[in-house]
A and B are shown apart, each in its own frame.
Chain A
Protein backbone atom coordinates (compact mmCIF):
# COMPACT_ATOMS: atom_id res chain seq x y z
CA UNK A 1 0.00 0.00 0.00
CA UNK A 2 1.11 3.57 -0.67
CA UNK A 3 -0.24 5.55 2.23
CA UNK A 4 -1.15 9.10 1.25
CA UNK A 5 -3.66 10.09 3.91
CA UNK A 6 -1.22 11.78 6.27
CA UNK A 7 -3.65 14.68 6.58
CA UNK A 8 -5.84 12.27 8.56
CA UNK A 9 -3.07 10.60 10.52
CA UNK A 10 0.55 9.58 9.92
CA UNK A 11 1.12 5.89 9.21
CA UNK A 12 3.30 3.95 10.01
CA UNK A 13 4.76 5.44 13.17
CA UNK A 14 8.47 5.08 13.92
CA UNK A 15 9.27 1.85 15.80
CA UNK A 16 10.41 3.84 18.86
CA UNK A 17 6.82 5.01 19.33
CA UNK A 18 5.53 1.47 19.67
CA UNK A 19 8.32 0.44 22.05
CA UNK A 20 7.76 3.49 24.24
CA UNK A 21 4.04 2.73 24.49
CA UNK A 22 4.67 -0.88 25.44
CA UNK A 23 7.17 0.22 28.07
CA UNK A 24 4.68 2.66 29.50
CA UNK A 25 2.06 -0.06 29.83
CA UNK A 26 4.62 -2.16 31.62
CA UNK A 27 6.22 0.39 33.97
CA UNK A 28 3.89 3.32 34.43
CA UNK A 29 0.98 3.83 36.79
CA UNK A 30 -0.94 7.10 37.29
CA UNK A 31 1.19 10.27 37.06
CA UNK A 32 1.04 13.11 39.55
CA UNK A 33 -0.87 11.13 42.14
CA UNK A 34 1.30 8.67 44.11
CA UNK A 35 4.92 8.73 45.21
CA UNK A 36 5.93 5.14 44.44
CA UNK A 37 8.23 4.19 41.57
CA UNK A 38 5.60 3.35 38.95
CA UNK A 39 3.76 6.64 39.62
CA UNK A 40 7.01 8.59 39.38
CA UNK A 41 7.86 6.73 36.16
CA UNK A 42 4.58 7.98 34.72
CA UNK A 43 5.20 11.53 35.93
CA UNK A 44 8.61 11.44 34.30
CA UNK A 45 7.14 10.31 31.00
CA UNK A 46 4.81 13.30 30.99
CA UNK A 47 7.45 15.81 32.01
CA UNK A 48 9.97 14.52 29.45
CA UNK A 49 7.35 14.97 26.76
CA UNK A 50 6.56 18.50 27.94
CA UNK A 51 10.27 19.39 27.85
CA UNK A 52 10.72 18.09 24.31
CA UNK A 53 7.59 19.86 23.10
CA UNK A 54 8.73 23.06 24.83
CA UNK A 55 12.07 22.85 23.02
CA UNK A 56 10.40 22.19 19.68
CA UNK A 57 7.74 24.88 19.94
CA UNK A 58 9.52 27.66 21.86
CA UNK A 59 7.45 27.40 25.03
CA UNK A 60 7.91 26.59 28.71
CA UNK A 61 7.15 23.00 29.79
CA UNK A 62 4.18 24.17 31.89
CA UNK A 63 2.70 25.84 28.81
CA UNK A 64 2.42 22.43 27.13
CA UNK A 65 -1.01 20.95 27.85
CA UNK A 66 -1.79 17.36 26.86
CA UNK A 67 -5.02 16.88 24.96
CA UNK A 68 -6.60 13.91 23.25
CA UNK A 69 -6.30 15.49 19.79
CA UNK A 70 -6.17 18.86 18.04
CA UNK A 71 -9.95 19.24 18.15
CA UNK A 72 -9.87 18.93 21.94
CA UNK A 73 -7.19 21.63 22.11
CA UNK A 74 -9.08 23.94 19.76
CA UNK A 75 -12.21 23.57 21.86
CA UNK A 76 -10.31 24.59 24.99
CA UNK A 77 -8.71 27.54 23.21
CA UNK A 78 -11.82 28.77 21.42
CA UNK A 79 -14.06 28.47 24.46
CA UNK A 80 -11.50 30.40 26.50
CA UNK A 81 -11.31 33.31 24.07
CA UNK A 82 -14.73 33.41 22.44
CA UNK A 83 -18.04 34.06 24.20
CA UNK A 84 -21.58 34.11 22.78
CA UNK A 85 -21.90 37.01 20.35
CA UNK A 86 -18.13 37.55 20.10
CA UNK A 87 -16.92 38.75 16.70
CA UNK A 88 -14.34 36.35 15.31
CA UNK A 89 -12.36 36.37 12.07
CA UNK A 90 -11.32 33.09 10.50
CA UNK A 91 -9.65 32.18 7.23
CA UNK A 92 -11.57 30.72 4.31
CA UNK A 93 -10.00 27.30 4.85
CA UNK A 94 -10.92 26.31 8.40
CA UNK A 95 -11.67 22.78 9.52
CA UNK A 96 -14.89 21.94 11.37
CA UNK A 97 -12.78 21.69 14.53
CA UNK A 98 -12.74 25.49 14.37
CA UNK A 99 -16.11 26.19 12.75
CA UNK A 100 -18.23 23.89 14.91
CA UNK A 101 -17.13 25.24 18.30
CA UNK A 102 -17.51 28.80 16.99
CA UNK A 103 -21.00 28.04 15.68
CA UNK A 104 -21.98 26.27 18.88
CA UNK A 105 -20.87 29.23 20.98
CA UNK A 106 -22.87 31.62 18.78
CA UNK A 107 -19.93 33.67 17.58
CA UNK A 108 -20.37 36.22 14.79
CA UNK A 109 -17.96 34.88 12.20
CA UNK A 110 -16.21 36.87 9.47
CA UNK A 111 -14.41 34.78 6.86
CA UNK A 112 -11.27 36.45 5.55
CA UNK A 113 -9.23 35.30 2.56
CA UNK A 114 -10.99 32.94 0.19
CA UNK A 115 -8.43 32.78 -2.58
CA UNK A 116 -6.20 29.75 -2.54
CA UNK A 117 -2.44 30.29 -2.36
CA UNK A 118 -2.92 34.08 -2.47
CA UNK A 119 -1.10 35.70 0.44
CA UNK A 120 -1.92 39.20 -0.68
CA UNK A 121 -5.64 38.50 -0.70
CA UNK A 122 -5.47 36.67 2.64
CA UNK A 123 -3.61 39.48 4.35
CA UNK A 124 -5.75 42.27 2.89
CA UNK A 125 -8.92 40.44 3.94
CA UNK A 126 -7.63 39.79 7.42
CA UNK A 127 -6.55 43.38 7.90
CA UNK A 128 -9.90 44.63 6.69
CA UNK A 129 -11.70 42.40 9.18
CA UNK A 130 -9.37 43.28 12.05
CA UNK A 131 -9.76 46.99 11.33
CA UNK A 132 -13.53 46.70 11.66
CA UNK A 133 -13.06 45.41 15.16
CA UNK A 134 -13.12 41.77 16.22
CA UNK A 135 -12.76 40.06 19.58
CA UNK A 136 -10.57 37.19 18.40
CA UNK A 137 -9.01 35.53 15.36
CA UNK A 138 -8.75 31.80 14.74
CA UNK A 139 -6.89 30.51 11.72
CA UNK A 140 -5.28 27.43 10.34
CA UNK A 141 -1.59 27.27 9.47
CA UNK A 142 -2.02 24.85 6.55
CA UNK A 143 -5.30 23.89 4.88
CA UNK A 144 -6.00 20.19 5.40
CA UNK A 145 -7.73 20.03 2.00
CA UNK A 146 -5.55 22.03 -0.34
CA UNK A 147 -2.22 22.30 1.45
CA UNK A 148 -2.41 26.10 1.32
CA UNK A 149 0.21 27.45 3.74
CA UNK A 150 -1.24 30.62 5.19
CA UNK A 151 0.99 33.60 6.07
CA UNK A 152 0.55 33.06 9.80
CA UNK A 153 3.54 35.19 10.84
CA UNK A 154 2.12 38.15 8.93
CA UNK A 155 -1.44 37.48 10.17
CA UNK A 156 -0.06 37.25 13.70
CA UNK A 157 1.65 40.62 13.24
CA UNK A 158 -1.64 42.11 12.08
CA UNK A 159 -3.45 40.67 15.08
CA UNK A 160 -0.84 42.18 17.39
CA UNK A 161 -1.10 45.51 15.57
CA UNK A 162 -4.86 45.61 16.18
CA UNK A 163 -4.61 44.05 19.63
CA UNK A 164 -6.64 40.97 18.74
CA UNK A 165 -5.89 37.71 20.55
CA UNK A 166 -5.61 34.72 18.24
CA UNK A 167 -5.56 30.94 18.09
CA UNK A 168 -3.58 28.95 15.53
CA UNK A 169 -4.70 25.54 14.30
CA UNK A 170 -1.41 23.76 13.64
CA UNK A 171 -3.02 20.41 12.78
CA UNK A 172 -1.21 20.09 9.46
CA UNK A 173 1.98 21.97 10.29
CA UNK A 174 3.23 20.74 13.68
CA UNK A 175 6.26 18.55 13.16
CA UNK A 176 6.52 19.53 9.52
CA UNK A 177 7.34 23.23 9.47
CA UNK A 178 8.24 25.72 12.23
CA UNK A 179 5.57 26.52 14.81
CA UNK A 180 6.70 28.74 17.69
CA UNK A 181 4.51 29.90 20.57
CA UNK A 182 6.64 32.74 21.94
CA UNK A 183 7.74 34.36 18.69
CA UNK A 184 4.30 34.07 17.07
CA UNK A 185 2.55 35.59 20.07
CA UNK A 186 -0.54 33.39 19.82
CA UNK A 187 -2.69 32.94 22.89
CA UNK A 188 -3.02 29.25 21.99
CA UNK A 189 -1.64 26.88 19.39
CA UNK A 190 -3.38 23.51 19.03
CA UNK A 191 -1.94 20.44 17.36
CA UNK A 192 -2.54 16.70 17.15
CA UNK A 193 0.10 14.26 18.31
CA UNK A 194 -0.76 11.78 15.60
CA UNK A 195 -0.16 13.61 12.33
CA UNK A 196 3.15 15.38 11.59
CA UNK A 197 4.41 14.69 15.11
CA UNK A 198 4.23 10.94 14.29
CA UNK A 199 2.77 10.03 17.69
CA UNK A 200 -0.18 7.74 18.41
CA UNK A 201 -3.84 8.65 18.00
CA UNK A 202 -5.43 9.89 21.20
CA UNK A 203 -2.71 12.50 21.76
CA UNK A 204 -2.46 16.19 21.15
CA UNK A 205 -0.80 19.31 22.51
CA UNK A 206 -2.20 22.72 23.30
CA UNK A 207 0.46 25.39 23.74
CA UNK A 208 -0.88 28.05 26.11
CA UNK A 209 0.42 31.58 26.42
CA UNK A 210 -2.65 32.43 28.49
CA UNK A 211 -4.48 30.57 31.24
CA UNK A 212 -7.42 28.80 29.57
CA UNK A 213 -10.89 28.19 30.95
CA UNK A 214 -11.24 24.54 31.89
CA UNK A 215 -13.19 22.44 29.42
CA UNK A 216 -13.25 19.45 31.73
CA UNK A 217 -13.50 19.60 35.51
CA UNK A 218 -12.10 16.92 37.77
CA UNK A 219 -9.08 15.69 39.69
CA UNK A 220 -5.66 17.03 38.84
CA UNK A 221 -3.54 15.66 41.69
CA UNK A 222 -3.05 19.23 42.92
CA UNK A 223 -4.96 21.71 45.10
CA UNK A 224 -7.09 18.76 46.11
CA UNK A 225 -8.71 20.56 49.04
CA UNK A 226 -10.47 22.91 46.65
CA UNK A 227 -13.56 22.25 44.55
CA UNK A 228 -12.19 24.71 41.98
CA UNK A 229 -9.88 23.81 39.16
CA UNK A 230 -6.31 25.01 39.79
CA UNK A 231 -5.48 28.47 38.48
CA UNK A 232 -2.14 27.42 36.99
CA UNK A 233 -0.92 25.46 34.00
CA UNK A 234 -0.90 22.76 32.98
CA UNK A 235 -3.19 21.41 35.69
CA UNK A 236 -6.07 23.78 34.88
CA UNK A 237 -6.57 22.14 31.50
CA UNK A 238 -5.68 18.54 32.43
CA UNK A 239 -8.44 17.05 34.56
CA UNK A 240 -8.49 13.28 34.91
CA UNK A 241 -5.91 10.62 34.18
CA UNK A 242 -3.56 11.35 31.31
CA UNK A 243 -3.10 9.00 28.37
CA UNK A 244 0.29 7.85 29.63
CA UNK A 245 1.03 5.21 26.95
CA UNK A 246 -0.03 7.71 24.28
CA UNK A 247 2.14 10.46 25.72
CA UNK A 248 5.05 8.02 26.01
CA UNK A 249 4.66 7.29 22.33
CA UNK A 250 4.41 10.97 21.51
CA UNK A 251 7.52 11.68 23.55
CA UNK A 252 9.45 9.04 21.60
CA UNK A 253 8.16 10.54 18.36
CA UNK A 254 9.32 14.01 19.42
CA UNK A 255 12.78 12.63 20.16
CA UNK A 256 12.79 11.05 16.71
CA UNK A 257 11.81 14.36 15.09
CA UNK A 258 14.26 16.41 17.15
CA UNK A 259 16.97 14.17 15.72
CA UNK A 260 15.72 14.56 12.16
CA UNK A 261 16.30 17.42 9.83
CA UNK A 262 12.73 18.75 9.73
CA UNK A 263 13.61 21.03 6.79
CA UNK A 264 14.39 17.93 4.76
CA UNK A 265 11.01 16.35 5.55
CA UNK A 266 9.18 19.59 4.72
CA UNK A 267 11.14 20.00 1.53
CA UNK A 268 10.45 16.43 0.42
CA UNK A 269 6.73 16.75 1.09
CA UNK A 270 6.45 20.01 -0.82
CA UNK A 271 8.42 18.66 -3.78
CA UNK A 272 6.33 15.50 -3.86
CA UNK A 273 3.11 17.54 -3.82
CA UNK A 274 4.39 19.90 -6.54
CA UNK A 275 5.44 17.01 -8.79
CA UNK A 276 2.13 15.25 -8.18
CA UNK A 277 0.16 18.43 -8.94
CA UNK A 278 2.01 18.97 -12.22
CA UNK A 279 1.44 15.36 -13.28
CA UNK A 280 -2.25 15.51 -12.38
CA UNK A 281 -2.63 18.67 -14.41
CA UNK A 282 -0.93 17.06 -17.43
CA UNK A 283 -3.32 14.13 -17.06
CA UNK A 284 -6.19 16.60 -17.48
CA UNK A 285 -7.52 16.77 -13.94
CA UNK A 286 -8.72 19.94 -12.27
CA UNK A 287 -5.90 20.37 -9.70
CA UNK A 288 -5.43 22.97 -7.00
CA UNK A 289 -1.83 24.04 -6.95
CA UNK A 290 0.12 27.20 -6.34
CA UNK A 291 2.88 28.96 -4.53
CA UNK A 292 2.66 28.57 -0.73
CA UNK A 293 1.62 24.95 -0.92
CA UNK A 294 2.67 22.23 1.52
CA UNK A 295 2.59 18.47 1.11
CA UNK A 296 -1.09 18.14 0.23
CA UNK A 297 -2.78 18.25 -3.18
CA UNK A 298 -6.48 18.07 -3.97
CA UNK A 299 -7.97 17.42 -7.36
CA UNK A 300 -11.40 16.91 -8.89
CA UNK A 301 -11.61 13.73 -10.98
CA UNK A 302 -14.04 13.52 -13.90
CA UNK A 303 -16.24 11.15 -11.95
CA UNK A 304 -17.50 10.98 -8.36
CA UNK A 305 -14.55 11.69 -6.07
CA UNK A 306 -15.41 8.82 -3.68
CA UNK A 307 -15.69 6.44 -6.64
CA UNK A 308 -12.26 7.48 -7.89
CA UNK A 309 -10.76 7.15 -4.41
CA UNK A 310 -12.25 3.66 -4.13
CA UNK A 311 -10.64 2.71 -7.45
CA UNK A 312 -7.31 3.97 -6.12
CA UNK A 313 -7.80 1.94 -2.93
CA UNK A 314 -8.28 -1.17 -5.02
CA UNK A 315 -4.90 -0.44 -6.58
CA UNK A 316 -3.24 -0.04 -3.20
CA UNK A 317 -3.34 3.75 -2.82
CA UNK A 318 -4.76 5.14 0.43
CA UNK A 319 -6.26 8.60 0.01
CA UNK A 320 -9.32 10.42 1.31
CA UNK A 321 -12.12 11.91 -0.78
CA UNK A 322 -15.12 14.08 -0.01
CA UNK A 323 -15.26 17.21 2.09
CA UNK A 324 -12.49 16.32 4.58
CA UNK A 325 -14.42 17.79 7.53
CA UNK A 326 -13.73 21.21 6.01
CA UNK A 327 -16.85 22.37 4.13
CA UNK A 328 -15.74 26.01 4.43
CA UNK A 329 -12.52 25.24 2.53
CA UNK A 330 -14.49 23.58 -0.24
CA UNK A 331 -16.97 26.47 -0.40
CA UNK A 332 -14.05 28.90 -0.72
CA UNK A 333 -12.43 26.85 -3.50
CA UNK A 334 -15.70 26.08 -5.30
CA UNK A 335 -15.52 22.31 -4.74
CA UNK A 336 -18.37 21.91 -2.26
CA UNK A 337 -20.64 20.06 -4.70
CA UNK A 338 -18.00 17.73 -6.11
CA UNK A 339 -15.66 17.29 -3.18
CA UNK A 340 -12.08 16.42 -4.02
CA UNK A 341 -9.66 13.53 -3.87
CA UNK A 342 -6.93 14.56 -1.45
CA UNK A 343 -3.36 13.28 -1.61
CA UNK A 344 -1.41 14.18 1.53
CA UNK A 345 2.24 13.22 1.59
CA UNK A 346 4.07 12.40 4.79
CA UNK A 347 7.53 12.02 6.23
CA UNK A 348 8.26 9.16 3.82
CA UNK A 349 7.54 11.28 0.74
CA UNK A 350 9.88 10.68 -2.19
CA UNK A 351 10.07 11.17 -5.94
CA UNK A 352 9.86 7.40 -6.40
CA UNK A 353 6.66 7.26 -4.34
CA UNK A 354 5.09 10.06 -6.37
CA UNK A 355 6.05 8.40 -9.68
CA UNK A 356 4.47 5.13 -8.55
CA UNK A 357 1.36 7.03 -7.47
CA UNK A 358 1.02 8.75 -10.83
CA UNK A 359 1.40 5.47 -12.75
CA UNK A 360 -1.54 4.08 -10.81
CA UNK A 361 -3.65 7.25 -11.14
CA UNK A 362 -3.11 7.24 -14.90
CA UNK A 363 -4.04 3.56 -15.05
CA UNK A 364 -7.24 4.10 -13.06
CA UNK A 365 -8.10 7.18 -15.09
CA UNK A 366 -7.71 5.33 -18.40
CA UNK A 367 -9.63 2.29 -17.18
CA UNK A 368 -12.47 4.52 -16.01
CA UNK A 369 -12.49 6.47 -19.27
CA UNK A 370 -13.07 3.19 -21.15
CA UNK A 371 -16.18 2.41 -19.05
Chain B
Protein backbone atom coordinates (compact mmCIF):
# COMPACT_ATOMS: atom_id res chain seq x y z
CA UNK B 1 0.00 0.00 0.00
CA UNK B 2 1.34 3.41 -0.91
CA UNK B 3 1.55 5.97 1.86
CA UNK B 4 2.01 9.70 1.96
CA UNK B 5 3.36 11.91 4.74
CA UNK B 6 1.93 15.30 5.60
CA UNK B 7 4.35 17.28 7.76
CA UNK B 8 3.46 19.86 10.42
CA UNK B 9 5.51 22.42 12.30
CA UNK B 10 4.64 20.98 15.71
CA UNK B 11 2.62 18.31 17.44
CA UNK B 12 -0.50 20.39 18.13
CA UNK B 13 -1.55 21.11 14.52
CA UNK B 14 -0.66 17.49 13.67
CA UNK B 15 -3.01 16.34 16.42
CA UNK B 16 -5.69 18.69 15.19
CA UNK B 17 -5.27 17.18 11.74
CA UNK B 18 -5.41 13.67 13.16
CA UNK B 19 -8.64 14.42 15.04
CA UNK B 20 -10.18 15.84 11.86
CA UNK B 21 -9.18 12.89 9.70
CA UNK B 22 -10.36 10.36 12.29
CA UNK B 23 -13.71 12.11 12.45
CA UNK B 24 -13.92 12.06 8.64
CA UNK B 25 -13.14 8.34 8.60
CA UNK B 26 -9.62 8.48 7.13
CA UNK B 27 -6.98 6.24 8.61
CA UNK B 28 -3.86 8.10 9.69
CA UNK B 29 -0.88 7.62 11.96
CA UNK B 30 0.82 10.38 13.94
CA UNK B 31 4.58 9.97 13.65
CA UNK B 32 7.78 11.92 14.14
CA UNK B 33 8.86 13.64 10.95
CA UNK B 34 12.03 12.08 9.52
CA UNK B 35 15.01 14.34 10.17
CA UNK B 36 15.70 15.07 6.52
CA UNK B 37 12.09 16.27 6.10
CA UNK B 38 12.18 18.56 9.12
CA UNK B 39 12.38 22.13 7.86
CA UNK B 40 13.37 23.87 11.05
CA UNK B 41 14.15 20.92 13.27
CA UNK B 42 11.72 18.57 15.03
CA UNK B 43 8.16 18.04 13.98
CA UNK B 44 5.35 15.59 13.59
CA UNK B 45 3.68 14.13 10.54
CA UNK B 46 0.54 12.31 9.62
CA UNK B 47 0.96 9.22 7.48
CA UNK B 48 -2.09 8.61 5.30
CA UNK B 49 -2.85 6.32 2.39
CA UNK B 50 -1.72 7.96 -0.83
CA UNK B 51 -5.15 7.38 -2.34
CA UNK B 52 -6.62 9.57 0.44
CA UNK B 53 -4.02 12.33 0.56
CA UNK B 54 -5.77 14.79 -1.78
CA UNK B 55 -8.99 14.56 0.20
CA UNK B 56 -7.10 14.89 3.46
CA UNK B 57 -5.35 18.04 2.27
CA UNK B 58 -8.67 19.43 1.07
CA UNK B 59 -10.08 18.90 4.57
CA UNK B 60 -7.09 20.65 6.12
CA UNK B 61 -7.43 23.58 3.74
CA UNK B 62 -11.12 23.84 4.48
CA UNK B 63 -10.58 23.85 8.25
CA UNK B 64 -7.43 26.00 8.00
CA UNK B 65 -5.17 23.43 9.58
CA UNK B 66 -1.61 24.51 8.90
CA UNK B 67 0.52 21.78 7.39
CA UNK B 68 3.92 22.16 5.78
CA UNK B 69 4.62 19.73 2.97
CA UNK B 70 3.30 16.52 1.48
CA UNK B 71 5.53 13.59 0.52
CA UNK B 72 4.89 10.40 -1.37
CA UNK B 73 6.70 7.54 0.36
CA UNK B 74 8.37 5.05 -1.96
CA UNK B 75 8.78 1.41 -1.17
CA UNK B 76 12.57 1.73 -1.10
CA UNK B 77 12.26 4.08 1.89
CA UNK B 78 12.81 7.30 0.00
CA UNK B 79 10.19 9.96 -0.51
CA UNK B 80 9.47 12.72 -2.94
CA UNK B 81 7.74 15.96 -2.23
CA UNK B 82 4.47 16.31 -4.09
CA UNK B 83 2.71 19.50 -4.94
CA UNK B 84 -1.02 19.31 -4.52
Contact = CB atoms under 8 A, between A and B. Distances in A.
Interface stretch (B12-20, B48-56, B76-84): B12-20
A10 B38 CA distance: 43
Contacts of A223: 9-10, 40-42
A62 B32 contact: no
Contact of B11 (A31, A51, A225, A226): A31
A235 interface: yes
B32 A224 contact: no
Contact of A221 (B31, B42, B66): B42
Contacts of A35: 31-32, 44
Interface in A76-96: none
A34 interface: yes
A216 to B, nearest CB: 17
A234 B38 CA distance: 19
A230 B19 contact: no
Contact of A232 (B10, B15, B16, B44): B10
Contact of B12 (A40, A62, A225): A62
A51 B12 CA distance: 11
Interface in B29-70: 30-32, 38, 40-44, 66
A47 B12 contact: yes
Interface string A1-44: 00000000000000000000000000000011011000010011
Contacts of B38: 224-225
Q: Looking at chain A, what size class is its interface with the partner chain? A: 20 to 34
Contact of A61 (B12, B31, B40, B44): B12
Contact of B30 (A40, A220, A234): A40
Interface in A230-247: 230, 232, 234-235
A61 B17 CA distance: 11
Nearest to A61: B16
Contact of B9 (A31, A61, A230): A230
Contact of B13 (A44, A62, A220): A62
B40 A226 contact: yes
B45 to A, nearest CB: 10
Contact of B42 (A31, A43, A224): A224
Contacts of B66: 232
Contact of B10 (A51, A61, A235): A235
A222 interface: yes
A62 B63 CA distance: 13
A222 B16 CA distance: 16
Contacts of A234: 12
Nearest to B45: A35
A235 B42 CA distance: 13
Contacts of B44: 32, 35
Which of B13, B41, B42, B66 gathers the greatest number of chain A CB atoms within 10 Å?
Answer: B42
Contact of B16 (A44, A62, A220, A230): A62
A221 B11 contact: yes
Q: Closest 9 interchain pairs by CB?
A: A224-B41, A225-B41, A222-B10, A35-B32, A224-B42, A47-B15, A32-B11, A223-B40, A225-B40
Interface of B: 9-13, 15-16, 19, 30-32, 38, 40-44, 66
Interface of A: 31-32, 34-35, 40, 43-44, 47, 50-51, 61-62, 220-226, 230, 232, 234-235
25 contacts: A32-B11, A32-B12, A32-B44, A40-B30, A43-B15, A43-B30, A44-B15, A47-B11, A47-B16, A50-B12, A51-B19, A61-B16, A62-B13, A62-B16, A221-B42, A222-B9, A222-B10, A222-B11, A222-B43, A223-B40, A223-B42, A225-B38, A225-B40, A225-B41, A226-B40
Given A43-B11, A222-B41, 17 more contacts: A32-B10, A35-B32, A47-B19, A50-B12, A61-B12, A62-B12, A62-B13, A221-B10, A222-B40, A222-B43, A223-B9, A223-B40, A223-B41, A225-B38, A225-B41, A230-B10, A232-B10
